Structure formats: C-alpha cells, structure tokens
C-alpha cells in the first residue's frame, strides 16, 4: 500500500479508491515473527491443521544518502505468490536493520526513506521481484536513487501534488505500491533482479498551478524493472488543452474548485487528482498529457459545494482543445451513459437527471424546491417518489409482471433569481414487459443548446439559433415526429418553431424577460416524450 499517503498534505479529491491488501501485520523493533501472522483454522503442523510452510529469514538493511541508518523509513513486504501471497508486513527497527521470517514465495518490497526536512525529499526504492527461497539479505540504499523530474513548459508553474504508482503481476496475481507527495522532491530506484518481461507497470502523475489554470502531467512505464529516476521536460506541442468555463448568474460572483484526474480504465490504474480554484465567472486552462488517456473533471461552485458537476472521460489529443462550461443554462433533462431507464425482471429504475447544465454535465445534488417522480401502469399509479433523489432523476418501482403501457412523469421546481430553469416537466410513455435480465426501456430527452453568456443570458430583442439534440431511443434517425415551441410569458402561451438543420430560431424578448422551451417527440416505435423547461434562459 502507499508508504506516503498518511503523511501527504495533498487536498485533492479523488473518486477512485486504492486497492487494499488482504492482511497487514505491523512489526516492531526486536521482533522476528515467523509464519502465523494470519489466522488459521488450527495451529500449523498441529493435529488437524495444515502443514507448516517452509520459511526463511529476510534481513533488510536501510542506508540513507550518507550511507548511515536513515532518520526515518517505512518498508513493506507484500506476498505475491506462495503461502504468503495474502500477507503484508511492515518490519521496522530504529537501527535500520530489521528481520522477518516469511514463507517461501514471491514478494514485492518497497521502502520510503526520508527526513523531517521537506527539502531533502523522499527516496522510494522498489524491488518488484523478491524470490524468498533461502535466508536472504536485502540492502535498501538511498544512494542508488535518481530524481523524478517531470516539468511543464511554463517554468513559473507551482507544484501542487504528485503520485507514483507501481503494479507487479506474477502467476495471475497483481500487487501494488504507491507514494503520494506534496513536494517535488522525490527520488526513486529499482532494487534486485529483473522481473518477467512486461510484468512491471509504473506511472507518475503530477499537477502544477498557474495564474490561469495549470498542468496535469502523466508518464507511464512498462517493463521488467521499477524506474530508477524519471526525467521529462514537456513542450507545449506535447500537451492537449482542457478549457474549463465556470458560469455565474447576474451579480452572482464567487469562486469554484475543480479537480482533474485520469479517467478510470484498463490503462489508467489508481491515481491522485489535482485540485484547482478559479473565480466566477471565468475560464481556466489546464494543459494535460494525452499519454494518460482521457481525463475526469469534477466542478463545484462556492455557492453550493454539494452541487458537483461531472465531466467524465474527456479525451484531449496533443495540440487540440476541449472546452467544458459548468453551471450554465439550459438546465434540462439529460441521459447519462448507459441506460436512463432500465427494467430488471419486474423492477423499473430511472436515472434521468432533470437539471443537467447546458453542456449536459450532471449533478448528484442539484438545488431544487420540490421534485416528484411518478410511474403509471395502464393509467393506474404504481408509485411516486419525491425529494433529492427525484430531483437527481433517481427512482425505482416494482411493477406487476407481464406487458403493459407505462407513463413516467417527473417534475422539479426551484427559485432562480437569474431566470435559469424554474421548472422542468417531463413525461414519457412506453410499453414494457417482464425481462429475464436488465434491459433498457426506450426513452428519449431533448437538449437545447443556445450560445449564452457566462451569466446565462442572450441578447434582448435579437433572434438566436438554438441547437436541438435528441438523446436516447429516438436518436440517430429514429424520430417519427418532433415539435418545438417557445414561450416568453412563463408558459402562458406558446409559439411553434420549425426545426431546421438541427436547430430552431428564437426571437428573444425584451431585457429581463425569459424564454421557456418545450419539445414533443414520438419515436419510430411509438414511444413519446413531452418535455417543458420554464425560464430556460433570460434576455439581457
């Protein structure tokens, strides 16, 4: 496990949890334990118990950069294969020499040597292949390490945090080691023989801040050895540009925090994220390394920290720019990746956020006053839900078996001084039958995407083009009919708008008035949607 996480002052949040090893046994000075650190059904070698495994003594000598016993160190020995595969021990002795008796097998050893002076940094030494088949002495020597020197092209950028991670795989088992640092003073080294080709995977992520954003830099390595040093000074051409726009309603100045981290995936591994702050409304720019794959962004404004928006899996190739605007209208239903409504047997589950922002970013806790979700089967109420889950589009209903016609209705209301979505009504109809396994229910939503200012407004009295996008079952040419209407009197009256080339043209009202939008849709299978967004945006 991480040898540095407990001491890190990094404040960045991360939604991915580092894997925990099955057993952890702390060893104290002067103790040389034998096999038996984990619970067994009976005493090893005793009546009815398993045969005592073959064990050997492992002696570990620790030397600092002057060749003396280090001021401080943390060492872990983790089993990979053999009888000790589920064992992790942390031997320690103030003299710098410690011993432990362990079962025969393959182990991963990692050691962090450090002082109380931050400027000295840490020496992280990893032996990915420790085959314990005889009494063995290992010397962990800080004099073998080399610096980790990964830097952005902007030399004025300030270091925020970093994390180095290593995975080693042997006989189908994978073990992990990591170190997280809040200072740019890490040195690393490989120890011991080479492991099998391609069995060692290692990566390093570091974050740097600037007056206008920062850098998220990642480097990966695969081979038979752990890294001894890591140096790369990036050029601007190697990086992609992630532009974060934070919106704020009229007069609603404030601040926001956003986190950036590699998106989960087969090649991403566990990691640490970088946290950045910005004023509102404003734009921040973070330059990222495409080598680490797509990136996840989490955004929260100071007026409501619980209202966090997520942009997951943002790919930014070198030389290209990806722009995401958070917290700006039109706030309206959006379908998440996967299934917005699902039926599993006779349970229908909904996951359709009603107040996703204008870019479609979804919030786990959007601000609201009232929220209701109801499900009807053949015109008879099955059940209703209210509160925060309903506002976030989450509900589950148990329905009678067999096929029937259903109507799902959802409403959320809220006060919005800025005139940004005071009410959303959405109603879906569809047919559904009992399923043998989870299956998607055919629902759709309509997204409206006008070009608005960071205050969520459009020019008063002018005509603007509003792109219209269909998500879900009716997407990709499966629309039988779609009508769009606009209202400038809070929904008291509506004017139909022709959809031409994927957009409608709206004549904005006088300053201070709002525009409401409505869509009525039928897909090629007869499933319907009736969706209304009151006070979608304001004219200014």
Q: Domain ranges in the chain?
A: 1-232, 341-539
Residue 41 phi, psi dihedral angles, 5° rounding: -65, -30
Higher-pLDDT residue of 404, 248 = 404
Is the pLDDT assigned to residue 26 strictly greater than 50? no
Higher pLDDT, 154 or 18: 154
Structure confidence by residue, pLDDT tens digits, 315-370: 999 999 999 999 999 999 999 887 899 999 999 999 999 999 999 999 878 889 99
H or E segment to which residue 282 belongs: strand 282-288
Lowest mean pLDDT among 26-35, 188-197, 448-457: 26-35
Task: Determine what percent of the chain falls in helix, strand and coil, rounding each to the nearest 5.
Answer: 5, 50, 45
Residue 311: burial class (beta carbons within 10 Å; 0-12, 13-18, 19+): buried
Query: What is the percent of the chain with per-residue pLDDT over 90, rounded to a whole number?
Result: 81
Mean of all residue pLDDT scores within the chain: 89
- pLDDT the model gives residue 241: 98
Q: List, as one string, the DSSP characters of 365-415.
A: S---SEEEEEEEETTEEEEEEESHHHHTTEEEEE--SS-EEEEEEEEEE--
Select the highest-mean-pLDDT range: 39-43, 51-55, 320-324, 475-479.
320-324
Q: In angstroms, rounded to a whole number, what is the distance separating the alpha carbons of residues 271 and 221?
A: 14
């Amino acid at each position: 496990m991480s040898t540095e996480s407990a001491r890190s002052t990094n404040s960045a949040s991360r939604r991915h949890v580092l894997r925990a090893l099955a057993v952890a046994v702390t060893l104290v000075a002067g103790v040389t334990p034998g096999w038996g650190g984990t619970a067994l059904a009976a005493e090893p070698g005793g009546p009815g118990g398993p045969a005592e495994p073959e064990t050997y003594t492992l002696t570990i000598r620790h030397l600092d950069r002057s060749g003396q016993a280090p001021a401080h160190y943390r060492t872990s020995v983790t089993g990979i294969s053999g009888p000790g595969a589920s064992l992790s021990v942390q031997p320690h002795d103030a003299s710098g020499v410690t011993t432990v008796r362990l079962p025969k097998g393959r182990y991963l050893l990692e050691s962090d040597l450090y002082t109380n002076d931050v400027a000295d940094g840490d020496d992280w030494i990893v032996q990915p292949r420790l085959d314990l088949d005889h009494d063995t002495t290992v010397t962990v020597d800080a004099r073998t390490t080399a610096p980790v020197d990964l830097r952005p092209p902007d030399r004025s950028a300030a270091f925020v945090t970093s994390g180095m991670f290593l995975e080693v795989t042997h006989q189908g088992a994978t073990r992990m080691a990591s170190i997280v640092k809040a200072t740019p003073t890490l040195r690393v080294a490989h120890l011991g023989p080479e492991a099998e080709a391609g069995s060692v995977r290692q990566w390093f992520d570091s974050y740097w801040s600037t007056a206008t954003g920062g850098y998220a830099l990642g480097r990966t390595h695969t081979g038979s050895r752990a890294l001894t040093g890591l140096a790369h000074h990036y050029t601007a051409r190697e990086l992609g540009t992630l532009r974060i726009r934070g919106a704020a309603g009229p007069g609603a100045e404030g601040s926001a925090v956003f986190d950036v981290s590699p998106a989960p995936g087969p090649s991403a591994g566990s990691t640490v994220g970088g946290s950045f702050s910005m004023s509102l409304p404003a734009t921040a720019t973070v330059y990222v390394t495409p080598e680490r794959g797509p990136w996840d962004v989490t955004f929260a404004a100071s007026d409501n920290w619980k209202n966090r928006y997520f942009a997951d899996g943002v790919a930014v190739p070198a030389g290209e720019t990806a722009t995401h605007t958070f917290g700006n209208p039109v706030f309206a239903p959006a379908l998440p990746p996967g299934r917005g409504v699902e039926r599993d047997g006779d349970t229908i589950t909904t996951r359709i956020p009603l107040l996703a922002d204008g870019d479609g970013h979804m919030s786990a806790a959007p601000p609201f006053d009232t929220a209701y979700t109801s499900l009807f089967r053949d015109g008879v109420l099955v059940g209703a839900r209210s509160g925060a889950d309903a506002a976030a589009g989450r509900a589950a209903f148990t329905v009678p078996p067999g096929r029937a016609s259903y109507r799902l209705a959802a409403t959320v209301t809220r006060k919005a001084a800025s005139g940004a979505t005071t009410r959303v009504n959405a109603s879906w109809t569809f047919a559904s039958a009992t399923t043998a396994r989870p299956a998607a229910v055919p629902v759709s939503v309509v997204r409206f995407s006008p070009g608005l200012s960071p205050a969520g407004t459009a020019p008063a009295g002018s005509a603007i083009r509003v792109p219209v996008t269909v998500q879900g079952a009716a997407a990709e040419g499966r629309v039988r009919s779609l009508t769009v209407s606009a209202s400038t009197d809070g929904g008291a009256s509506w004017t139909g708008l022709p959809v031409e080339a994927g957009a409608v043209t709206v004549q904005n009202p006088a300053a201070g008035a709002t525009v409401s939008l409505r869509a009525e849709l039928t897909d090629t299978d007869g499933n319907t949607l009736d969706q209304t967004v009151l006070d979608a945006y304001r004219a200014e």
